[in-house]
Chains A and B, each alone.
Chain A
Amino acid sequence: MLNQKELDYLWLDSFMIPLKKKAKIIEACGGISFVKEKFKKNSDLFAKILDKETILKMESSLDESYIEKLVDLLNKYYISVVTIESEAYPKLLKEIADPPLVLYARGDVNLMNQKCLAMVGTRRATSYGREVTNAFAKKLSKAGAVLVSGLAFGIDTCVAESVVNIHGKTIAVLGGGLDSIYPSQNDELSRRIVRDGGLLLSEYPVGVRPTQYSFLERNRIISGLSLGTIVVEAGERSGAISTANDAIDQNRELFVIPGNITSFESLGCNNLIYSYPEAFCSSVNQILDRFGFSSEETVKKANIQFSIEAQKILDVLNEEMNIDELAQLTNLAPKILMSELSKLEIGGIIKKTSGNYYAKITLQN
C-alpha cells in the first residue's frame, strides 16, 4: 500500500511536468503534502509556473478516482514507487544535481543502495566490445557489484545478458514507462532480469514512450546510481559519451576501456581517455581494487595438449585473422585448417568473430 505522500507524488508526477518546475512547485507549496491542497484553493501560484493546458488537466484530476486509476495501472504492471523522500531511494542518486522525484521500479528496490557500477557502450557493439563486456560484467558481478545499464542494443544488452547468464543481479534503467520495454527485442531479457532478482527502473510513469531526449535524461540516473561508470566501447557520438560526462559532472569515477584506433566504435572511448587520462582502464582488477571488491576467483589455466596443426595455428594467430590469411601463414589444407579451428573454438581457446575472422581468447571469463 502506498502512503499519502507517495500518492501525492504520484499525482503530481502524472502530468508530465518538467522536473525543475515540479521541484519549484513543491518548494513554493512548502512540501509535497500541501501541493494538492494549495492547488484546490488557489491556482494562481501554479498559473505562473505551468501552462494553461496542464492546469486544466490538473483541475479535472482532483477526485479520488483519478489516483485510484493510477494505482491500478501500477499494480497491473507490478510496478512499485520509490519517492525521493522514502528510505529505499538510492543515496548516491540523491547527491546528483537533478535527482528524479519519483522512481518507478519492478524488482528488488534494495539493489539501488548496494554497490552499483554502470557499464555502458555503443549500440553497434563489435566482437571486441562484446568480449570485454562479457568478461568484465561476469567478474564484477561475481565480485558482488550490481551492474547498471540501459538495456539498449549492443553493449547494454550484452551487460544484462552476461549477468543474467550467471544468474547475477543487474539494474536496467529505461528511457520510458515500465509498461513497455524498449527495444521490444529485449522484452524477454527484461523478464529474465527481474526473475533473477534484478531491477528495472525508470523515472517515467506508465504509458510514457521513450524519446531521443528521455534517453539522454535517463543516462544521468545510470551514472548517478553508480560508484563508477565503465565505458566499454563508444563511437564518436554515442550516448555512452553523455553518460560518461554525466558521471564526471556527478563527481563519480570513470573507467574507459581503450580500443583499436582504427575502430569507429572505439573513437569516443579513445577521445575520452585523451581528455581524462586517469580514466584509462585495461583490467577489471583496476576496478575491483578501486572499490574494494575481492576477486577470490583464480584463473584456471587449462593444460591442453594441442596437435601440431593446432599449435601452428596458435603460433601465427597473434591478431584477429581471416581464414584465408591463416591458410597462407600456416600452409595447412583448408579442410584440416577448418577442422582444427573448430576444435580450438569448441575448446574455448579461440573464437570466431564475424566475416570468417578468428582470434585468440585472451580475457578469461
Chain B
Amino acid sequence: MVGIVKSFALDGLKGFPVEVEVDLNSGLPKYDLVGLPDKAIKESKERVQSAIKNSAFMFPIKKITINLAPANIQKEGAGFDLAIAISILVSSGQIKSRRYKDFVILGELSLDGKLRSITGLLPMIISAKEMGQTKFIIPRINEKEASFVSGITAYAFDSLIDVVDFLNEESECEPIAIQTWKPADVDASEDFSRVRGQYQAKRAMEIAVAGGHNILMVGPPGSGKTMLAKCVPGILPDLTFEEALEITKIHSVSGVLDLNQGVVTKRPFRTPHHTSTVIALTGGGAKANPGEISLAHNGVLFLDELPEYPRHSLETLRQPLEDGVVTIARAQRTVTYPANFILVASMNPCPCGNYGSKEAVCTCTPSAVSKYLGKLSGPLLDRIDIKIDVGRVKFIDLTQETNEEPSSAVKERVNKARKIQLERFKGEGVFCNAKMSSKQIKKYCVLDDECKQILESAFEKFKMSARGYTRILKVARTIADLEGAPNIKPEHIAEAIGLRTIEKITL
C-alpha cells in the first residue's frame, strides 16, 4: 500500500504543498528518495530509521521508495522527516486510522524519536491556510509560532510516538490555543534621556523615524553617533500585527526567530558589520536566503562607519532603498523578499575623523578626504533624505544636570505622525512620507507663497539640486505631521532646510 502524507515546503517566503509518497516493494532492502531533495532531506534516511526503531516501531526491511511530489521543484531542509516517518508507518500498516489524511505534517526528527524545531514554519502555515489547509501537526518547540495564526487547528507534539498515538486515534489532545498578539515593551539599549545636548541630532532622528526617512550622521569620533543610533529602537512607531507577521516570516525562514516569542514583537534593528559581504547584506547564496536588509524589514538597518563598507555592497542598497523589496535571482530560483527599512548611517568626515572639527586637527591630506567621501556615490546619498552634522559635546554640557526628554515622549509624537500618514495614504500603497511618489508630493506638499519664497532663496543660496528640492518637501511634510498641521508652514520648510550637511557631501 502507498502511504501519502501532506507536507509543505518553502520557495522564498511562499509555501507550496508537497506530498510525501512511500511505497514498499519486495526486493533487496533499499531506501530511495526522489523528487529533487537536497542533502539534508537525503540524510533523513538515517534519522527516520533510528527514530522509528527507537520509538518501538518497526522499520520495514523492504525496498522503500519515497517520492516528494511535485517532483520537479527543488526542496530543502529537514522539515520532511516527520512526514516521511509517518508515511512509512502508514504504508507498512503501523498506522491504521485515516486521520493523517486531514493534516499537514511538519517536523524534524532526532535519532531518539523526539521532534525538533524547523525553520520557516510561519510562512508555510500562512501559505497553507491560503490554500485551504487548516489542520497541522507541528513540533512542540515551534508551538508559539503557530499560535498567532487564527483560523487554523494545529497540534503540537514532543515525539514521534505521541504523533502516531494521536493519528491512530489512541490518544486525543487539545489543539494549540490561539493567542492574541501584543507588541513588546521597548527595551532599547539607549534612551534619549541619557543623551546630553545633541538637540539637532535628536530632533533629526525623530523626524527620520516619523516619516520613514533615511538618515546619515556625519561627525568626529566620540561625538555620540552610535549612541544616538542605538536610541532609535526606543522611538520607532508601534508594530502592527500585519507588520509583525511580515517580519516573522523572514526571520523564520532565515532561522533567526526567537522560538519562545513565536511572532516578532518589536521592530528589528540590524547592525551588520562593515566586513559583511554583498550577499550577507542583500541576500542570496545557493538557497537565496534573505539578507540583512530583509531582516531589517519594517525596522532599521544601521550601518556604522558607512564609507568602510565596500562600495559595491553599498551600491546594491540603491534599488531596495527605492522599491522596498529586493529580488534575488539565482540559477535555480528567483526570490523576492521585502526590504522596507529605515537606513540609519553614520560616518566620520575624513579618515582621521577630525575634518572640520573645532577641537582637534585633521591630519588627512585633502586628497585623502575627498577619496574618503568619494566612497559614497551620489545616487546613494540622493536616497538619504536627512544628513546632519553631529559635533562633539562640550565637557560643560556633560557635567551639567539637564532635563532631557525621554524616548517615550518622542515615540508618542512619532506614533501620532505615523497615524496621520497612514490615514493620508490609505489605499495608495504607501505608508510613510519618505516613500511618496512625485505625484503624491505634488498632491500633499502644497506650499503657500511664503514657503515658496523661502525655498526659492534657499535654492539659490545653497545651490540645491532638483532632488534636494523633493527631499526638503518630503521632510517638511513629516515635520508638519509631527505637529499635526494639515499644511506645510514656513517654519517647517525652514527646519527641513536646516537638516543637511555643509562641505562636500552636500547634495
Chain A: residues with CB nearer than 8 A to chain B?
A: 123-124, 153-154, 183, 185, 264, 320, 322-325, 327-328, 334-343, 345-348, 352-357
Contacts and interface: CB of A to CB of B under 8 A. Distances in A.
B279 to A, nearest CB: 35
B256 interface: no
A354 B389 contact: yes
A339 B200 contact: no
A323 B389 CA distance: 11
Contacts of B497: 342, 345-346
A334 B203 CA distance: 7
Contact of B498 (A264, A327, A341): A341
A210 B394 CA distance: 43
B361 A264 contact: yes
B494 A339 contact: yes
Interface string B186-214: 00000000000111101100000000000
Contacts of A354: 349, 355-358, 389, 502-503
B380 interface: no
A312 B225 CA distance: 29
Interface in B478-496: 479, 490-492, 494-495
B454 A343 contact: yes
Given A325-B394, A353-B356, A353-B502, 7 more contacts: A338-B200, A342-B458, A343-B490, A345-B498, A354-B355, A354-B357, A355-B220
Interface stretch (B152-160, B292-300, B362-370, B430-438): B362-370
Contacts of A336: 491
Given A324-B198, A334-B200, A339-B495, A355 B356 contact: yes
A183 B366 contact: yes
16 contacts: A183-B367, A185-B367, A327-B197, A327-B199, A335-B491, A337-B199, A338-B200, A339-B498, A341-B498, A342-B497, A346-B461, A353-B502, A354-B356, A354-B357, A356-B388, A357-B391
Q: Which of B200, B454, B479 has the most CB of A within 10 A?
A: B200
Given A334-B203, A353-B502, A354-B389, A346 B367 contact: no
Contacts of A345: 461, 497-498
B448 to A, nearest CB: 15
Contacts of B499: 338
Nearest to B397: A324
Nearest to B460: A346
B457 interface: yes
B494 A342 contact: yes
Contacts of B262: none
Interface in B375-399: 388-394, 397
A254 to B, nearest CB: 26
Interface in B136-150: none
Nearest to A153: B366
A343 B489 CA distance: 13
Classify chain B: how many residues form its interface, as a range. Answer: 35 or more
A154 to B, nearest CB: 7
Nearest to B356: A354
Contacts of B197: 324, 327
B219 interface: yes
Contact of A356 (B349, B390, B503): B390
B494 A340 contact: yes
A322 B497 CA distance: 18
Nearest to A152: B366
B391 A355 contact: yes
A355 B357 contact: yes
A153 B504 CA distance: 13
A355 B219 contact: yes
Please provide the 6 A-B residue pairs with the shortest distance between their CB atoms, ordered closest to farther.
A354-B356, A355-B391, A334-B199, A324-B197, A342-B498, A342-B494
Nearest to B361: A264
Contacts of B503: 354
Contact of B203 (A153, A338, A342, A353): A338
Given A339-B494, A354-B356, A185 B370 contact: yes
Given A322-B394, A352-B502, A346 B457 contact: yes
Interface in B440-473: 454, 457-458, 461
Interface string B333-372: 0000000000000000100000111100110001100100
B366 A355 contact: no
Contacts of A343: 454, 490, 494
B366 A338 contact: no
A353 B388 CA distance: 12
A324 B389 contact: no
Contacts of B349: 354
Contacts of A355: 219-220, 356-358, 389-392
B104 to A, nearest CB: 54
B457 A339 contact: no
Contact of A124 (B202, B220, B362, B389): B362
Q: Which of A320, A327, A341, A356 has the most CB of B within 10 A?
A: A356
Q: Which of A328, A336, A348 has the most CB of B within 10 A?
A: A328
A335 B494 contact: no
B495 A346 contact: no
B498 A154 contact: no
Contacts of A341: 498
A252 B202 CA distance: 53
Interface in B66-80: none
A356 B203 contact: no
Contacts of B502: 352-354
Contacts of A327: 197, 199
A339 B204 CA distance: 12
Q: Which of B197, B358, B361 has the most CB of A within 10 A?
A: B358
B393 to A, nearest CB: 7
A125 to B, nearest CB: 10
Given A124-B362, A322-B394, A324-B397, A356 B494 contact: no
Contacts of A328: 397
Nearest to A336: B491
A347 B457 CA distance: 8
B391 A356 contact: yes
A51 B3 CA distance: 98
Contacts of A339: 491-492, 494-495, 498
A154 B200 contact: no
Q: Which of B367, B491, B492, B503 has the most CB of A within 10 A?
A: B491
B483 to A, nearest CB: 8
